[in-house]
A and B are shown apart, each in its own frame.
Chain A
């Protein structure tokens, strides 16, 4: 207002602020692909605004949404919506977007408005005065949208001078008068539905609203009214500017001294509020000095930094399918947390890195179940290739993966995970796990493999033992114990399965060797660190795979459903451990009722607050042994064996001291393990006991 003389108030208008519904961008994307293709000619769209702002902090919003492309009716946008015409120009490149001559574009629109004023069309339909332009460039690869709105307004008259600040309606009229006018307006709205009108107050008949085109026949005009999108206490909205241009052309004589009603028709707390409508009295009007045939036009919207410029919005969060699937996966798991298990820590699961040794039947199902729990980091280790017999049992492979000699299984499974869910961070390592008793010919190669495996175990939090032989589990079992990782083991028989967690202790630390001998605990619970590993129950070293020892070890011939059951249990066991307040040290009941549901468990928990053996998901067993032929499952827990060939301090200490040299010995001769672990001595002891104690039975029952 620097140019204003003293005592002179220039009327200032509040421009529209663009509001784009996210659905507008969805629809634009669809139209670009299906309809516009490379056509970048301007197309007509429809926007809307209202004169029922709920807050004076809100700008005067001009909205576009999904209905903008379909020629909407007032009924589509709510009863107080006012439709306005717009032109959308969607360019094919960012350069084209930048190169559009913005001044020409808005001038062209201004010319159209001016022609509607000259022809009188705008008198019959004042809606023609409020138009907008929208330039867009849609970068559909990055889901970035560049856009710039213009709300063209004619600078004619160039200035409106006021006597005094605009007044609020409820300070000028009584409540009764306001109600009377409200009725008159509602009648007008119902019959004409126009956004600008002439108000005449007859001393006897009260208020009446007339359409603008009748103005020429009316005497004693009280106000010119328009639906005002502004909610500011002193400033009218943008539509008044072109309305005044219309009046200045057709009814110049009325303009000085004219009263304008800025009609604001809102609802708050279920009540209609019109009192903040403004009355503006025009004292004087200044016209442009240049005598151009068409008045100057302006109205490009300023960006969020208050500068004339385009805006950009990145919608990859709501439009990029990869982001969408990620949030859908998360939300699905959150439902479980919200509805059933508020204590569930989903982040902990999501951040757990899982190493799967074996990408066969068990590996595939375990990976799928981990993925369903929201685990994002999965690495497979396998040295096989996908063969024709695999895909029907191994759920991450298809026929194509078997062709041309078959793809490497580890890598193929890792790729498959990312195809199922792009949010996965999966990797395959083609590696043969060195085994005790399998004579090493290429020492360098095997040493490298050991290092690779040790590094992989180091980088992950949980190690799943899912290979098809018993002896291939020895090295990872030993390394997991050495590094203090949680190891979950699943092994199958023909119709039996074993799923177990290895006792989890701190990473090996020579200063703190816990060489506890078995205490022979037979009742109560065992802490996680006291629990045994897969090899603890064995009294011979792994290495001899020619003889079947137990059903568990006949891995390749199994009832097909068994692997799903065992894989599911393996993952659920891991999740239960993770959710337990003590994690891997969660204690396991030596005997537990296996038939407990979550609900019963919660009830028990209520009954017994001291039930420390329970995670939010229930008990955390040491091992789960199932027998399908009787559909039976038991949950035995066993103590770590002091002479275990995999997890005993004696073996680990030897590895810690001698490293690969010790392993090389073991690979070449499994008997070394029995000597180191003390099993050999035990064998001798047992032999002497047998000789001494049971001389008569020695001939009888032998298996």
Chain B
């Protein structure tokens, strides 16, 4: 019926972890797989974002240059400040790009009996990227589906992270079971749902929508 148990979820997670271990794409698990609903999969990715992009300029939380609350080092006036002499042995990072980090968590939703994707993105100073910018700026253009069905699927809700207690975005799990019914029925109607296949199908359907690539290596299930 498009749903899985925690035990099946664990089988899927173990598959992801073992493949990720060989290809090194960074999925790891925090918490305990032994304990019921005891943890979640994590992947972190850094992206360069062009500073010249309008989304960056319109961001209200960033400091203006004339904001007197910034503390610029005022040359040699103050002995407590670090010496400003040129360091010939260092090179400044490229200022035209700034890193944006995205963290993806895969949790098991007990209420809906499906995996749930949580995500959050932040700039290097820790300020959060809001849902709109998340969609616009960070989903690769080729992954941006235009049909209504996908628009709805992509609806992000802000939700308190069950483990961290902070506001995260998540793809609401209420449609996941329907979606997985659709995806599953294409190939193996009578097959039953193999937990690994289910998990990989779910990941490869959902994760790329929010800019988290899933390697084809996961599809080879031994």
Which residues of A are at the interface with B, using a C-beta cutoff of 8 A? Answer: 1, 3, 10-15, 17-26, 52-55, 57-61, 63, 66, 75-80, 97-104, 106, 144-147, 150, 155, 158-160, 232, 235, 241, 265, 267, 269-272, 298, 300, 302-318, 324, 327-328, 331-332, 334-335, 338-339, 342
Asked if B11 is at the interface of the complex by the 8 Å CB criterion, the answer is no
Report A-chain residues with C-beta under 8 Å of the C-beta of B87.
155, 298
Once the chains are docked, how many angstroms separate the CA of A446 from the CA of B17? Answer: 77
Which residues B148-203 have CB closer than 8 A to chain A?
148, 151-152, 155-158, 164, 166-167, 172, 175
Report A-chain residues with C-beta under 8 Å of the C-beta of B30.
76
Once the chains are docked, how many angstroms separate the CA of A126 from the CA of B83? Answer: 27
**Interface residue total, chain B, C-beta cutoff 8 A:** 68
Are B126 and A13 within 8 A (Cβ)?
no
Contact of B24 among A57, A80, A99 (CB under 8 A): A80
Are A14 and B90 within 8 A (Cβ)?
yes
Are B65 and A54 within 8 A (Cβ)?
no
Once the chains are docked, how many angstroms separate the CA of A10 from the CA of B215? Answer: 40
Are A300 and B70 within 8 A (Cβ)?
no
Question: Residue among B24, B125, B127, B175 with the most chain A CB within 10 A?
Answer: B125
Are B93 and A315 within 8 A (Cβ)?
no
Closest residue of chain B to A330 (Cβ to Cβ) is: B158
Report B-chain residues with C-beta under 8 Å of the C-beta of A26.
164, 166
Are B80 and A270 within 8 A (Cβ)?
no
Once the chains are docked, how many angstroms separate the CA of A101 from the CA of B30? Answer: 39
Once the chains are docked, how many angstroms separate the CA of A80 from the CA of B98? Answer: 22
Are A3 and B88 within 8 A (Cβ)?
yes
Asked if B63 is at the interface of the complex by the 8 Å CB criterion, the answer is yes
Given A12-B90, A160-B89, decide whether A54 and B46 contact each other with a Cβ distance below 8 A: yes
Are A78 and B44 within 8 A (Cβ)?
yes
Which residues B76-97 have CB closer than 8 A to chain A?
79-84, 87-95, 97
Are B28 and A21 within 8 A (Cβ)?
no
Asked if B71 is at the interface of the complex by the 8 Å CB criterion, the answer is yes
Once the chains are docked, how many angstroms separate the CA of A26 from the CA of B168? Answer: 12
Closest residue of chain A to B122 (Cβ to Cβ) is: A22
Contact of A298 among B47, B48, B83, B217 (CB under 8 A): B83
Asked if B21 is at the interface of the complex by the 8 Å CB criterion, the answer is yes
B73 to chain A, nearest CB (A): 4
In the assembled complex, 5 residue pairs joining A and B whose CB atoms fall closer than 8 Å, in A order, are: A232-B91, A267-B24, A303-B70, A303-B72, A328-B158
Report A-chain residues with C-beta under 8 Å of the C-beta of B93.
14-15, 17, 59-60
Asked if B15 is at the interface of the complex by the 8 Å CB criterion, the answer is no
Are B125 and A313 within 8 A (Cβ)?
yes
Are A103 and B88 within 8 A (Cβ)?
no
Question: Residue among A232, A241, A317 with the most chain B CB within 10 A?
Answer: A317
Once the chains are docked, how many angstroms separate the CA of A305 from the CA of B45? Answer: 25
Closest residue of chain A to B120 (Cβ to Cβ) is: A22
Asked if B1 is at the interface of the complex by the 8 Å CB criterion, the answer is no
Asked if B145 is at the interface of the complex by the 8 Å CB criterion, the answer is no
Report B-chain residues with C-beta under 8 Å of the C-beta of A269.
213, 215
Which residues B85-114 have CB closer than 8 A to chain A?
87-95, 97-99, 101, 103
Given A19-B99, A159-B88, decide whether A270 and B25 contact each other with a Cβ distance below 8 A: yes
Report B-chain residues with C-beta under 8 Å of the C-beta of A100.
80
Are B21 and A106 within 8 A (Cβ)?
no
Asked if B208 is at the interface of the complex by the 8 Å CB criterion, the answer is no
Report A-chain residues with C-beta under 8 Å of the C-beta of B88.
1, 3, 10, 12, 159
Report A-chain residues with C-beta under 8 Å of the C-beta of B130.
317
Report B-chain residues with C-beta under 8 Å of the C-beta of A315.
61, 126-128
Report A-chain residues with C-beta under 8 Å of the C-beta of B148.
342
B80 to chain A, nearest CB (A): 4
Given A80-B26, A307-B73, decide whether A318 and B91 contact each other with a Cβ distance below 8 A: no
